[in-house]
Amino acid sequence: MREVLPPVRGRIERDVELARRTWLRVGGPARFLFVPADLDDLREFLRSRPPELPVLPLGLASNVLVRDGGIDGVVVRLSGPLAEVRVEDDVVVAGGGASDRRVALAAAEAGLSGFEFMVGIPGSIGGAVRMNAGCYGGETADRLLWAEALDPRGELHRLSRDELGFSYRHSELPPGWIVVRAAFRLAAGDPRRIRARMEEIREARARSQPLQVATGGSTFKNPPGAKAWELVDRAGCRGLVRGRAMVSEKHCNFLINLGGARAAELEELGEEVRRRVFERCGVWLEWEIERLGLPAREAVA
């Protein structure tokens, strides 16, 4: 390992199984897993690493499908100082590794409104910025002031909301950039109403989503003027099974690992759903789950 990677102050592990770290409970190993000690550790690593070695940030992996062959590169997990949350007047500043739920709770504790929806997103701030995560009437872009990200050379950039070019479940953040911090301006609110709204969102998720099984969250983006789940249902895909992968009967825009599924089965099932929706409704659904890594035949050596 020392022959390939530069020295770090954080932790590096080799051949780390990712299945137990993803919500879908599938996926092959990462060649390396790097947990940097702090921002400077990550910057120096990016500056010094072999340029041909891919680096991929991976947060809580709630909306990710890691393929069976794993990830032939360095997976970066942000924690410690890179996951801190602090409140400054009406602004919440959060590290890229901070969970969305933790940021929502910190805002509520400070009597700040506008981030209640984040309690319904089981991801991290870095991923929320990259994909403009949202639910229950709110989006990350709504409150963002700026985000700081490292480019592949380790240079730090501060980007405004406009520079990030947000749209539905999308930002213009360049590939390979790692969000390390973001700031959000919220509004003063009644703490009781804030907590009540957060509880409403928790209850709505529990009623409508398969939270007690291995799933990856919303599988497909809503196409313009339609709901993905309605199209999936209309195409007769509710409860559709391939191997140990299944389209949820509770919410048919969720794929479920019934236990022992391979990533390939989940991806193939998703593609079958896309095909049937196109044949029935004339719409090609776009994946919302991010699919990463190599198929089994190209597994990490």
- Give the amino acid at 205: R
Candidates 116, 265, 267, 288; catalytic one: 288
What is the number of residues in the chain? 301
Non-local CB neighbours of 121 within 8 Å, separated by 6+ positions = 62, 100, 101, 128, 133, 134, 135
Pairing, β 156-160 against β 178-185: unpaired
- 288 catalytic residue (yes or no): yes
Candidates 25, 101, 161, 169; catalytic one: 169
- Give the amino acid at 251: H
Q: Say how far apart CA 180 and CA 60 lie, in whole Å.
A: 14
- 218 catalytic residue (yes or no): yes
Report yes or no: 116 and 194 within 8 Å, Cβ to Cβ: yes
Alpha-carbon distance values, 51 to 29, 46, 56, 159, 216 (Å): 21, 9, 13, 24, 31
- 203 catalytic residue (yes or no): no
Candidates 218, 248, 267, 276; catalytic one: 218
Report yes or no: 214 and 257 within 8 Å, Cβ to Cβ: yes
> Would you name the residues annotated as active-site residues?
169, 218, 288
